[in-house]
Amino acid sequence: MSIDVLNPFDQSLVCSLDYDEGPGLEAKIAAAHEAAERWREVPLDDRLEQVREGLERFRGESERIAADVSRQMGKPIAQARGEVSTVFARADHMLEIAPEALAPEILPPLDDFHRRIEHAPLGVVFNLAAWNYPLIIPVNVIVPALAAGNVVLLKHSAKTPLCGQAFEEAFGSLEVPGLVTNLVLTHAETARVIADPRVNHLSFTGSVEGGRSVYRQAAERFIDVGLELGGKDPAYVAEDADLDFAIANTVDGACYNAGQSCCAVERVYVHQSLLDDYLAGAREALEAYRPGDPLEEETTIGPLASRGALDFLEEQVQDAINRGASLLTGGARAPGAIAPRGGWLPPPALPPISGRWPVAHGPWPSAPAAPQTPTLGIQG
């Protein structure tokens, strides 16, 4: 059984990968467990040096990795390169603080007892990573896990499995082989890995419902679980705000990565005295976006990664209008010339006519391959 990954811009085939299952999956779990037993015995300074070596391998493939991000989930290439750069900034910081963070904690003596807290490796960390920031999310787990003496089984999103491969290629064949193992799994096999007694920690990034599901499965074994789930994020523009700064950052906060961020701005509350000027500036900023092929340098907003989002987004816009909003800009499908096999919805902004209304949000995981953009709701 295999999975096909399609470019959300034009629906071309990016890659086709076989799922890990049966004896092949068992062999990978067993190898990770064996690697964990070896890796935990490596001194901290040597571990950090090997992690840096893995990062340099990753750096050597930076341009290919960025292009793979764009082809798999539609992030404009400039933003994909920015994500690659953030990988190294975060990794460098985590490696810098690792010696202090992992040092024994010496407690005050008590009744002639010498007391200390030692930080011991857990073993095998199972990381379920999300597609919207397919490099930053896993590196936040991989680098601290490896530094602390653990190994990582990485199950990436079905939308971005090549990112999982990139981490395995960088960290999987160092002095201790198998420090990071990429897995391509069905939901059933994912549950099997969570239930495996050789897995010692679970880290999940994704939807609230997905978090509930993996937490229930992990609870059967009483293992530690780290969850990073969704958010509902407003912005407020106060009466004394720097209006130009507020416009630029709230619009960017809504539209960066096509709005596909857990911390994306979903609605903006603006002081009444600034509302008209804010709306004029926001409209100009929204209409300046250049949709297109995410691999082209001039593209500033790419397609959504999920199928069905164009219809879903139009429904959100119409729902907001039905509840009293007026459409300031965008909100209608553009001709298919920009997207070879789909429509395009220019970024809509929806200021209210009167009263309060639940503004439309950025698209969620059930949505289309056709390129489109998020909705920005504005309340005076």
Domain boundaries, the chain: 2-228, 233-379
What's the chain's average pLDDT? 88
Query: In this predicted structure, what is the pLDDT of residue 183?
Result: 98
pLDDT score for 305: 85
Q: How many Cβ atoms sit within 10 Å of the Cβ of residue 244?
A: 11
**By mean pLDDT, which of 22-31, 240-249, 313-322 is the weakest?**
313-322
Express the helix, strand and coil content of the chain in percent, nearest 5 each: 45, 20, 40
| Distance, C-alpha 187 to centroid of its chain | 19
- pLDDT for 249: 96
Query: What are the beta bridge partners of residue 143?
Result: none
Catalytic pick from 228, 255, 284, 296? 228
For the chain, the residue count is 380
Q: Considering only 140-154, 256-270, 299-313, which range has the smallest mean pLDDT?
A: 299-313
DSSP state of 341: T
**The predicted structure's pLDDT at residue 327:** 86
Query: Which of 57, 25, 15 has its CA nearest to residue 160?
Result: 15
Which of 15, 61, 262, 296 is labelled catalytic?
A: 262
pLDDT digits (tens, 9 = 90+) for 77-119: 999 999 999 999 999 999 999 999 999 999 998 888 999 999 9
User: Cα separations (Å) of 206 from 127, 144, 251, 274, 365?
Assistant: 11, 20, 24, 36, 10
**CA 81 – CA 297 distance, rounded (Å):** 11
255 belongs to the catalytic site: no
pLDDT at 83: 97
206 pLDDT band, cuts 50/70/90, is: very high
Question: Helix or strand or coil: residue 77?
Answer: helix
Q: Higher confidence at residue 373 or residue 203?
A: 203
Q: Which CATH superfamily is domain 233-379 in?
A: Aldehyde Dehydrogenase; Chain A, domain 2 (3.40.309.10)
Check if the beta carbon of residue 225 is closer than 8 Å to that of residue 202.
yes
pLDDT of residue 68: 98
**What is the dotted CATH code of the domain comprising 2-228?**
3.40.605.10
What is the DSSP track for 173-217?
BSSSBTSEEEE---HHHHHHHHH-TT--EEEEES-HHHHHHHHHH
Give yes or no: 61 in active site. no
Q: Residues 33-72: pLDDT tens digits?
A: 999 999 999 999 999 999 999 999 999 999 999 999 999 9
Residue 320 confidence (pLDDT): 87
